[in-house]
């Protein structure tokens, strides 16, 4: 088995687009173009309070290889502890707590984050109460589900974990479409400059 290149993703706080835009309820991992949608390392959602419809799970795990494939090019992406922390902080700072989707496809109402934290001490962390098997630096998310249809799907096992949706700065190519768009913009600029002369 060949060793794959590992690409660390980061958040550039100066780039207004970088950060977590939504948390998706998913059954299986999903990778979408232009988005990082991660769930390979999911831990099943645990119900904290069935009457209040509150669930808990891990949104991101640091230093975990996540397999990617772009044509014949195979590689892993990974998030450092610092990036996981920045992602969780910006998610709250930018007030994205009501941004929820189902399978990264359908925006949904009535699902929102009510608590979020980074695991500092695995043995003493609140996540241990719920047997999440969190590692130091993991991002724990607690959500309330007021949407009756979504709650029924969670209870039936249709949605079993969280997956993030967001934009990240990368140490290598992750978005060929943006590169192509930028190249087209540069060509248009050059045509305009040439026509002005």
Q: What is the pLDDT of residues 141-166, one digit of tens each?
A: 999 999 999 999 988 888 888 888 88
Task: Identify whether the C-beta of residue 7 lies closer than 8 Å to the C-beta of residue 171.
Answer: yes
Of residues 165, 158, 163, 151, the one with CA closest to residue 47: 151
Q: Give the Cα separation of 39 and 25 in Å (integer).
A: 10
**Residues 31-64 pLDDT 10s:** 322 233 333 334 467 777 778 889 988 888 899 8
DSSP 8-state secondary structure symbol assigned to residue 158: S
Q: Give the Cα separation of 58 and 101 in Å (integer).
A: 16
Which pTM value belongs to this model? Answer: 0.75
> Which H helix or E strand runs over 81?
helix 81-93
The mean pLDDT of 3-16, rounded to a whole number, is: 84
| 41-45, 105-109, 118-122, range with the lowest pLDDT | 41-45
Q: Give the Cα separation of 168 and 31 in Å (integer).
A: 14
| Alpha carbon 197 to its chain's center | 47
CB atoms within 10 A of CB 139: 27
Residue with tokens 């009457």: 51
Q: Give the Cα separation of 61 and 65 in Å (integer).
A: 9
């Amino acid at each position: 088995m060949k060793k794959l290149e590992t690409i660390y993703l980061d958040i550039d706080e100066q780039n207004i687009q970088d950060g977590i835009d939504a948390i998706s309820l998913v059954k299986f991992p999903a990778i979408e173009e232009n988005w990082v949608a991660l769930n390979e390392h999911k831990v099943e959602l645990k119900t904290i309070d069935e009457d209040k419809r509150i669930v808990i799970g891990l949104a991101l795990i640091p230093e975990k290889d996540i397999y990617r494939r772009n044509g014949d090019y195979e590689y892993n992406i990974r998030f450092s502890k610092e990036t996981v922390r920045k992602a969780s902080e910006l998610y709250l700072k930018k007030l994205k707590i009501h941004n929820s989707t189902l399978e990264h496809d359908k925006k949904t109402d009535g699902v929102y984050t009510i608590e979020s934290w980074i695991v500092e001490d695995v043995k003493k962390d609140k996540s241990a109460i719920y047997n999440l098997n969190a590692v130091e630096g993991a991002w724990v998310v607690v959500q309330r589900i007021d949407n009756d249809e979504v709650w029924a799907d969670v209870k039936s096992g249709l949605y079993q974990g969280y997956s993030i949706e967001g934009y990240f700065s990368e140490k290598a190519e992750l978005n060929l479409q943006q590169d192509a768009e930028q190249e087209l913009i540069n060509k248009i600029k050059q045509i305009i400059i040439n026509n002005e002369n």
